[in-house]
Copies of this chain bind each other. A is one copy, B any other.
Amino acid sequence: MQTKPSTNNTPSPGSAAYAPTDRTIPTRSRERASYDHESVHAILDEAYVCHLGFVRDGAPVVLPTLYGRVGDRLYVHGSTGSRPLRMASASAEEQDPGLPVCLTVTHVDGLVLARSAFHHSINYRSVVVHGTAHQVTDPEEKRLALDALVDHVVPGRAADSRPADAKELAATAVLRLDLNEVSAKARTGGPNDEPEDMDLPHWAGVVPLRKGHDALIPAADLAPGIEVPDYLTGL
């Protein structure tokens, strides 16, 4: 599993891009930023969790959570009792202004070792989404969102599991965040040392990080005769 298969179910034309805004133009290293749909979606589809930020009593809160993507919409879910979902729900009662959030996804691809401490870095790819999350109330959209959340973890899995029943649906809240104010950022390549440091006796280069998985662990109570499905052997 070098890279996770894409769940990009609604490919965008290569030329389409999100419009940069004051919040999505970096203050530094602007050459590392990109806005095209393809780059943004690919980074989002490869990660398992995002970090969701919101404001509670004036202070920031950042929580890791699963997410799914359907075209230009991201979905996160949780118990109706969890904090951000209760907050969005409380908002909803007041004419649904939604919950301002920042959703960030990061891949660490390599460790960059320079001759100087100052130029140490990492190679990474990240996406930052700014916007307002809204509770999903339409039952059909909610089902599609929950399928997307399961398929985001393992593409093809939603169709091979028991769908949520009425009680489970009632216990689950789903928030939608539209991809609109969003940017990707990436660093690649080797260290950028100062010319006068080139003769220093320190090793310099990149430690490329690799993702993978170990052997599957079947549930202890898995019934005999149930084979590992194709979508798992293909990981």
| A contact set with B: CB distance below 8 Å | 23, 27-28, 48-49, 51-56, 58-64, 66, 79, 81-83, 86, 100-104, 106, 108, 110-111, 113-118, 120, 122, 124, 126, 128, 130, 146-147, 149-150, 153-154, 157-158, 160-165, 168, 172, 190-191, 193, 197-223, 226-229, 232, 235
Contact = CB atoms under 8 A, between A and B. Distances in A.
A79 to B, nearest CB: 5
Contacts of A149: 120
Contacts of A211: 209-212
B213 A117 contact: no
Given A111-B48, A161-B120, A206 B217 contact: yes
**Which of the listed residues A59, A100, A210 has the most CB atoms from chain B within 10 Å of its own CB?**
A59
A4 to B, nearest CB: 10
Nearest to A229: B203
20 contacts: A28-B79, A53-B61, A55-B58, A55-B60, A60-B61, A62-B103, A62-B104, A62-B128, A64-B126, A111-B153, A117-B158, A120-B150, A120-B157, A190-B220, A203-B226, A204-B218, A205-B217, A205-B218, A206-B217, A206-B219
Contact of A204 (B164, B168, B219): B219
Given A153-B111, A157-B113, A232-B207, A200 B48 contact: no
Nearest to A64: B106
Contacts of A101: 60
Nearest to A226: B203
Nearest to A153: B111
Given A103-B62, A104-B64, A120 B51 contact: no
Given A117-B150, A217-B190, A223-B199, A62 B55 contact: no
Contacts of A204: 218-219, 222
Nearest to A60: B53
A115 B199 CA distance: 59
